[in-house]
Amino acid sequence: MKTKPIKPPAGSVSEAAEWQLRLYVAGQTAKSIAALNNLKQLCETHLAGRYAIEVIDLLVNPQLAAGDQILAVPMLVRKFPEPIRKIIGDLSNEERVLVGLDVQPLRPGVV
Amino acid sequence: MPPKLTRPKKENYSGLQKASTGIQGLDEITAGGLPRGRPTLVCGGAGCGKTLLAAEFLVRGATQCDEPGVFMMFEENAHELTQNMRSLGFDLDRLQKQKKIVLDFVHIERSEIEETGDYDLEGLFIRLGHAIDRIGAKRVVIDTLEALFAGLPNHAVLRAELRRLFRWLKDRGMTAIITAERGDESLTRYGLEEYVADCVIVLDHRITDQVSTRRLRVLKYRGSSHGTNEYPFLIGDLGISVLPITSLGLGHKAHQQRISTGISGLDEMFGGKGVYRGTSVLVSGSPGTGKSSIGASFANAACQRGDSVLLLAYEESQSQMIRNMRSIGIDLARWQEKGLLEIHASRPTLHGLEQHLVLMHELIARIKPVLVVVDPISNLTMDSDDTLLKPTLMRLIDFLKRSGVTAVFTSLTSDSEAASASSEVGVSSLMDSWILVTNLQRNGERTRTLQILKSRGMSHSNQVREFVFSSRGVDLLDVYLADNQVLTGTARVVQEARDRVADELRRRDHERRLGELASYRRTIEAQIDALKADLERHANEVEFSIARDNFEAEGIAARSRIARWSAATESNRTKQSRKRNR
């Protein structure tokens, strides 16, 4: 897959990570940059070391849009663990993202 | 509505470009097709045929206009659509392989999607754009966008994006069809007409008297004239066909050729040559007057000429018709075997009137007959309300005339004589020739009679003729006039017998009188001979007596000459003696 995997921060497991997330964006728009930043921050906070993020730019790989049923961007897809979950938007609302991903917040107090 | 919807030439340069839909009739209504490079909204309730219309537009574009297309669907998946379309004869799989069509199923599941913050539908644009670029598409179908409203909760974003989508489609020059579900108050449930305003087509599925008819209407067409009526359409074996017949003017060509009716007596009544080709003939009459038989005669005659015939039977089944017609010496089965005759028998209640019309169209377009017999038209409507029959027939007749097809319609009327003329007033004006068959009830029997009420453009008999069936077919008897009356049935037979007797008596009388004359002549001639003999005799006698008289007279003269001579000599002697004596 011709994607540009963003290396997760050091210490995390890149292969067979517990959380495999894929972020679909369309070019370097403000929304996509915001979404990626929000996602990174959220993962570092709650899923440190247990996640892998793959960013797919649909402008580069338009054929992937149909295959993965992408409609709205930015879209975050939880490929693993099953079942697949989809979150659209710039992921600015951390609580909803966590609910959407079904992630238990590590520090209940934060949320 | 303008009589002719073809645009003047100059408009092709400046006016709106159109993309042919390839759908029968729709191009005529829209005067050439959908607006090229613009989106068209197709809306209607469930089961109206929106998807089918859109799909056919795409398939016809790909196969007939060399315009590849993208079908983006939200409701059915590609496999389901392919299957559905295959039943109509469109092979989407093959078209996909030929890179003429791209099917893209957009799956939105509300439960899978969570919304957080700002987003747009760039993904959809990219998908669509990619599909368009892959095959160089010119046409796009989005079926149905409204699924997005159910899938994406943020309608504000959605609406903004849809506006952008339509703009984008226009910018890319895509001729697009967007389908939408019909709303309660508005045209579409989510008010899509707000965005797509260039052309709006409304589909409708209506049930009248338990018979459903699909209808299509072009509600709006910016920058173009279009037919504004509701046009019935049918989803048939060959896809959608719309009937735009009333949009046409009366521009058909009139044929000079005359064709036989198959009944020699009837041909004679039509000036000896039959009816004009391409005209419509109405045969009306009460039950059992022989309307179907006249129709079959027409068909038989056409087949004998080698013309193809379509017989639409709404009362009898095919085999029943063949059997019944055989009883009057018309063998329809043999024409069927030769492939000249096609009989389509169906119950009139099977479809609505409009649908019948569409079916007729399809049959006529496929078979291309020279003659069409519809038996009967009066049965096409369930209810007695004839208001629909006339426009339907007008469309059919227009269509037939345009294709130069001769049409024979039979029509059932009630038995009473007064009603027979009035009930047809509605359709008779559409017909070029009108044959009325009636049962005359007199002297305890019924006699079939036939008359031509009208026949445009030719001299025709004004007589009522008696009309008989025999095993050799249908024929008309010569007019039997007696005492300034046309006689039919038993009255005719009686009068014929009476006339025969009178003839015989007259003949004998003449013979007798001729005989008398001959004998009189003979008598006179004998008398003449006798008189002539008498005359001869008399003449002979006269001649003889004259001759005798002449002889006698000559004798006397001779004698007197002698006497005179002797007397003279005597007197001379006397004179000389006297001289001497002196």
**Joined tokens for residue B489:** 């049935």
Best mutation target among A28, A88, A92, A98 (most B Cβ atoms within 10 Å) is A88
Are B116 and A100 within 8 A, CB to CB?
A: yes
**Contacts of A35 by beta carbon, 8 Å cutoff, 6+ apart:** A23, A25, A74, A76, A89, A90, A91, B117
Select, from the ranges B176-185, B199-208, B518-527, the one with the highest average predicted confidence (pLDDT). B518-527
Select, from the ranges B254-258, B485-489, B526-530, the one with the highest average predicted confidence (pLDDT). B526-530
CATH of domain A4-99: 3.40.30.10
Answer with the one of B479, B507, B523 that is the final residue of a domain.
B479
Q: Kindly list the residues from chain A whose CB atom is less than 8 angstroms away from the CB atom of residue B152.
A: 71-72, 88
Same domain (yes/no): B226, B276: no
Q: Is the pLDDT of residue B520 over 70?
A: yes
Q: Give the tens place of pLDDT for each residue, B184-211.
A: 877 888 887 777 778 899 998 877 766 6
Q: Is the pLDDT of residue A11 over 70?
A: no
Average pLDDT (B405-433) is 69
Closest-CA residue of chain A to B130: A62
- B200 in Cβ contact with B51 (< 8 Å): no
Q: Is the pLDDT of residue B481 over 80?
A: no
**Amino acid identity at B542:** V
- B241 in Cβ contact with B357 (< 8 Å): no
User: What is the structure's pLDDT at B411?
Assistant: 82
Same domain (yes/no): B380, B474: yes
Closest by alpha carbon to B274, among B430, B433, B400? B433
What's the burial of B559, exposed, middle or buried (CB within 10 Å: 0-12/13-18/19+)?
A: exposed
CB < 8 Å from B in window 60-99 of A: 62-63, 65-66, 69-75, 84-93, 96-97, 99
The residue range of the domain holding B86 is 11-247
Q: Kindly list the residues from chain B whose CB atom is less than 8 angstroms away from the CB atom of residue A63.
A: 130
Same domain (yes/no): B113, B174: yes
Q: Considering only A76-85, B121-130, B214-223, B240-249, which range has the smallest mean pLDDT?
A: B240-249
Q: Considering only A47-61, B173-187, B234-248, which range has the smallest mean pLDDT?
A: B234-248
Look at B31 and B418; give whichever has higher pLDDT.
B31
Q: Is the pLDDT of residue B281 over 70?
A: yes
Per the structure, the count of domains in chain B is 2
Same domain (yes/no): B263, B127: no
CATH of the domain at B103: 3.40.50.300
Same domain (yes/no): B172, B214: yes
Domain-located, residue B578: no
Domain-located, residue B142: yes
Same domain (yes/no): B293, B427: yes
Closest-CA residue of chain A to B109: A86
Of B104, B106, B123, the CB nearest to A26: B123
d(CA A78, CA B295): 73
Q: Kindly list the residues from chain A whose CB atom is less than 8 angstroms away from the CB atom of residue B121.
A: 71-73
**Joined tokens for residue B117:** 């913050």
Same domain (yes/no): B43, B182: yes
Best mutation target among A22, A42, A71 (most B Cβ atoms within 10 Å) is A71
Answer with the one of B454, B479, B504 that is the final residue of a domain.
B479
d(CA B327, CA B386): 33
Q: Considering only A60-74, B263-277, B290-304, B566-580, which range has the smallest mean pLDDT?
A: B566-580
Answer with the one of B424, B453, B479 that is the final residue of a domain.
B479
Domain-located, residue B233: yes
Same domain (yes/no): B284, B165: no
Are B126 and A72 within 8 A, CB to CB?
A: no
| Peptide linkage before A81 cis (omega within 30 of 0) | yes
d(CA B558, CA B6): 131
Q: Is the pLDDT of residue B7 over 60?
A: no
Average pLDDT (B8-13) is 44
pLDDT band at B10 (very low <50, low <70, confident <90, very high): very low
Q: Considering only B282-291, B314-323, B375-384, which range has the smallest mean pLDDT?
A: B375-384
User: What is the structure's pLDDT at B210?
Assistant: 67
Domain-located, residue B547: no
- Sketch the domain layout of chain A as residue ranges: 4-99
Domain-located, residue B445: yes
Average pLDDT (B243-270) is 74
Same domain (yes/no): B237, B320: no
User: What is the structure's pLDDT at B461?
Assistant: 82
Touching check for B142 and chain A: CB below 8 Å?
Answer: no
Q: Is the pLDDT of residue B577 over 50?
A: yes
User: What is the structure's pLDDT at A2?
Assistant: 43
- B25 in Cβ contact with B214 (< 8 Å): no
Q: What percent of chain B has pLDDT over 70?
A: 88
Domain-located, residue B382: yes
ipTM greater than cut 0.90: no
Same domain (yes/no): B419, B364: yes
Same domain (yes/no): B416, B304: yes
Same domain (yes/no): B224, B288: no
Listing DSSP states for B221-241 in one string gives ETTS----SEEEEEEETTEEE
Q: SS3 for A74-102, per residue? A: CEEEEEECCCCEEEECCCCCHHHHHHHHC
